[in-house]
Amino acid sequence: MNSQPLLLATPSGDVLKLRPEGPWTAANVSALETLSRSVGADVDRFRAVTLDMSGVSALDTLGAWVLEKLSRRAASSGRSAEFVGVADHFSGLLDEVRQVNRHTPAPTAAPNPISLRLYDLGKATVGAREDITIFLQMLGALFMAVIGVLRHPRSLRLTSLVYQLYRIGWQAIPIVALITFLIGAIIAQQGFFHFRRFGAESYTVDMVGILVLRELGVLIVAIMVAGRSGSAYTAELGSMKMREEIDALSTMGLDPVHVLILPRVAALVIALPILAFIGSIAALYGGGLVAQFYGDMGPAIYIARLHEAISVTHFEVGILKAPFMALVIGIVACSEGLRVKGSAESLGRQTTTSVVKSIFLVIVLDGLFAIFFASIGM
Amino acid sequence: MDQSQDLCAIRVRDLVVGFGPQTVLDHLSLDVRRGEILGLVGASGGGKSVLMRTIIGLIPRRSGTIEVMGHPVGDRTQDAATTWGILFQQGALFSSLTVRQNVQFPLRENLVLSQELMDEIAIAKLEMVGLRPQDADKYPAELSGGMTKRVALARALALDPPILFLDEPTSGLDPIAAGDFDALIKTLQKTLGLTVFMVTHDLASLTTVCDRVAALADGKIVAIGPMRELLQSEHPWVRAYFHGKRSQMLQHEMR
């Protein structure tokens, strides 16, 4: 027996005799392709082709298909092709292969690139409208759920709320405090370094205080929470959606918004101002440490400067924004979670979308608040 | 000895598998003959899937030997794709690839062949398992349960492996689809000369397609043979399995 497949072509009059030999199996596929290509031109020249299968030692679907393709090529345009000497245990496979690939689906015409662009643009526009609709729907559903809870306070899922508070509030404290501490320290260091040139070092404290309390404290914390907890919400609700848990809840007469989403969003709304406060304090502390070790400004002076520089208004401006940012993060995370379809890929995509969208919206919201507070003189 | 080894596609001897303090398979021995369809039955959680996953190397064994096609199974699984095809219970299709790409995946990874041939082979396999070429560009998420199983079967068969492992192939299918699937496995087994190792609870598949049935209880194979012999078995668990209320109707037909 040959260990390599062969294809012997012997012309006799009008008929081309093809004699495949050896193992015609997937393992030798490159040899098979070369062999069948090499006789391709000959096959076209003869009126009839016989395939003598008696020399084939092993055959699988792939080999059978390559032979069948040759015979189809030979049989086209009124000529004839036949298999002879087919061993019993190969005939079933050859018969099977003869049935397949008969209906080649019409190739779809390549779409016009301009219309494709227009299609994408239109789709994105409709998608944006849908996003806004979904956001507003979720806001409305949450509002209704809150009203429901106000009317029947016992219907609040207290256990769930406390558990979510623990997860996204308590457990987030170390990392939030660490990062805001570092950011406060970095801002202070930059302030001392650059302000020193024109002798305005003491204004560093004003900068750190105002920047941290008004903007950075809450913004950094909101972005971190969006990345840490928003993504978790989306993944959780998404996998619940995938495993039909949410459908199961609805069929038991429970509202998923009430049971799953309200405790999560409420926990965010409660936890984010607290985290923002802790973050701001950590940042001020970081700034104070830099002031002492890098700016040669003792703690007493730092605190006194801070006292002069900032008022409670700055603190209010920062902390007032936190619940709204939490609401946006919560709504985006939960509604993206509910948009997960069946596949794991869709879960990943929706989680990414959730984080990107909530960070974007948090920053936009921050900008709107800045305009608002400026216009009312806070 | 040589003769018997030649006839065995899978040979399991004294296999022990366990997790932590729990022993799931306890000195289990099993032979699967070449070209047969062997059905494996056992209680839920009784180690059927564990046995299958141990043979294909997904679960480490504590002791014992496993030979597949005369070669001992080591820890390496590099030639696995050409030795066996596996139909996982949930299909385990790659969700980011289309049906066509799923079927082509083993071809692409193991062989060097032209895209044209690969497309033709993929469509051929899909048609062999009873799908239409139009379904080739769908994603797994768009498929029904029955179609998912068929695509998974097409992928398992992509390289024409000599051994096919099926983990509950008909679970979750309606009786008509399950019957079609059984017939399909029988046809493919005949045309391709496959050895099929099938974990199943489906009594109808056991009676119609399986050449032999093995019963797994208490970590051992307690009975093995054609369905008719198993029905006569005196082992209490086997009796309970085949002579329970649900099995009685089928029993009736067998007589």
Give residue-wise pLDDT tens across range B168-190.
888 777 888 788 788 888 877 87
Identify the CA nearest to B204 among candidates B245, B246, B240: B246
B127–A101 CB contact, under 8 Å: yes
- Average per-residue pLDDT for chain B: 79
Burial zone of A73 (CB within 10 Å; 0-12 exposed, 13-18 middle, 19+ buried): middle
- Burial status of residue A172 (CB atoms within 10 A of its CB: 0-12, 13-18, 19 or more): buried
CA pair distance A74, A78, nearest whole angstrom: 9
CA A252, CA A254: separation in Å to the nearest integer? 6
Please check whether residue A89 touches B, CB under 8 A.
yes
Label residue A251 exposed, middle or buried (CB < 10 Å: 0-12, 13-18, 19+). exposed
Task: Tokens for A344, please give them.
Answer: 């794991």
What pLDDT score does B30 carry?
84
With contact defined as beta carbons under 8 Å apart, do A145 and A255 qualify? yes
* Cβ–Cβ below 8 Å for B82 and A69: no
Query: Alpha-carbon distance B65 to B29, whole Å?
Result: 9
Alpha-carbon gap, residue A229 to B244, rounded angstroms = 51
A244 residue type, one letter? E
Give per-residue pLDDT as tens, A338-363.
999 877 788 999 999 999 999 999 99
Which neighbouring-strand residues pair with B197? B38, B165
Beta-carbon contacts of B164 under 8 Å, excluding residues fewer than 6 positions away, are B84, B85, B86, B87, B156, B157, B185, B189, B194, B195, B196, B197
Please report the pLDDT score of residue B80 as a whole number: 62
Contact B200, B166 (CB under 8 A): yes
In this predicted structure, what is the pLDDT of residue B6?
62
**CA trace torsion A146, A148, A149, A154 (10° rounding):** -170
The model's pLDDT over B135-147, given as tens digits with 9 standing for 90+, comes to: 888 888 888 878 8
pLDDT, residue B74, reads 66
Element (H, E) at A9: strand A6-12
Q: Is B193 on the interface with A (CB under 8 A)?
A: yes
DSSP A245-310: HHHHHHHTT--HIIIIIHHHHHHHHHHHHHHHHHHHHHHHHHHHHHHHHTS---HHHHHHHHHHH-
Of A69, A93, A104, the CB nearest to B191: A93
Cβ-based neighbour number of residue B98 at 10 Å? 19
Q: Which two tokens stand for residue B133?
A: 């070429």
B19 pLDDT tier (thresholds 50, 70, 90):
confident
Residue reference for tokens 């029905």: B231
Beta bridge partners of B243: none
* Count of CB pairs separated by less than 8 Å, A with B: 72
- CB < 8 Å to A69, chain B: 120
Copy the structure tokens of residue B109: 């990874």
Cα separation, B32 vs A293, in Å, equals 77
Contact call for residues B252 and B58 (beta carbons, < 8 A): no
Number of residues that make up chain A: 378
Q: What is the ipTM of this complex?
A: 0.71
Question: What is the tens place of the pLDDT at every residue in B199-226?
Answer: 888 777 788 888 888 888 888 888 888 8
Q: Are B151 and B126 in contact (CB under 8 A)?
A: yes
Q: In Å, how far are A134, A334, A360, B46 from A338, measured between CA atoms?
A: 10, 6, 20, 37
| Cross-chain Cβ contact B133/A93 below 8 Å | no
Binning pLDDT at 50, 70 and 90, where does residue B132 land? confident
CATH of region A6-99, choose from 3.20.20.70, 3.30.750.24, 3.40.710.10, 3.30.565.10: 3.30.750.24
State how far residue B179 is from chain A, nearest Cα, in angstroms. Answer: 20
From residue B254, alpha-carbon distances to A207, B181, B202, B204, B213 in Å are: 89, 21, 15, 11, 15
How many Å apart are CA B161 and CA A30, to the nearest integer? 18
Q: What is the pLDDT of residue B249?
A: 62
Strands B8-19, B22-33: parallel, antiparallel or unpaired by DSSP?
A: antiparallel
B124 closest CB neighbour out of A95, A101, A103? A101
The Cα of A235 is separated from the nearest Cα of chain B by a number of Å equal to 17
Using 50, 70 and 90 to split pLDDT, how confident is the model at B252?
Answer: low
Intra-chain end-to-end CA distance of chain A, in Å:
93
Place of tokens 């067998």: B254
- Across the interface, do A346 and B141 touch by the CB < 8 Å criterion? yes
Domains in chain B (CATH in brackets) are 2-254 (3.40.50.300)
- Mean pLDDT of residues grouped by 10 in chain A (378 residues)? 73 78 79 79 75 79 81 74 77 77 68 88 92 93 92 89 94 95 95 90 90 92 94 93 86 87 94 95 94 90 91 91 95 93 84 94 95 90
Closest CA to A161 of A266, A271, A273: A266
Compute the average pLDDT of residues B68-96.
73
When pLDDT is cut at 50, 70 and 90, the band that residue B81 belongs to is low
The string over B147-168, giving b where at least 16 C-beta atoms fall within 10 Å of a residue's C-beta and e elsewhere, is bbbbbbbbbbbbbbbbbbbbbb
> Which tokens is B194 given?
């496959």
- 């070209």: which residue's tokens? B35
- Are the beta carbons of A33 and B95 separated by less than 8 Å? no
Residue B107 is encoded by which pair of tokens?
A: 């071809």
Q: How far B114 CA lies from chain A's nearest CA (Å)?
A: 8
The closest alpha carbon to B165, from B254, B80, B246, belongs to B80
Whole-model pTM? Answer: 0.68
Residues of B in contact with A29 (CB under 8 A): 111-113, 117
Higher pLDDT, B65 or A333: A333
The alpha carbon of residue A73 and the mean position of all alpha carbons in its chain are separated, in whole angstroms, by: 47
B185 torsion bin: left (phi>0), alpha (psi -120 to 50), beta (else): alpha
CA distance A62 to A101: 13
pLDDT of residue B213: 86
Q: What's the pLDDT score for residue A368?
A: 95
For position B155, what pLDDT does the model report?
Answer: 87
**Interface with chain A: mutation pick from B82, B98, B105, B191, highest number of A CBs within 10 Å:** B191
CB nearest to B121's CB, from A30, A65, A99: A65
CATH 3.30.750.24 occupies which residues in chain A?
6-99
Residue B4 has pLDDT above 60, yes or no: no
Report d(CA A44, CA A186) in Å as an integer.
78
Q: Which contacts of A126-133 are long-range, i.e. CB under 8 A and separated by 24 or more positions?
A: A131/A357
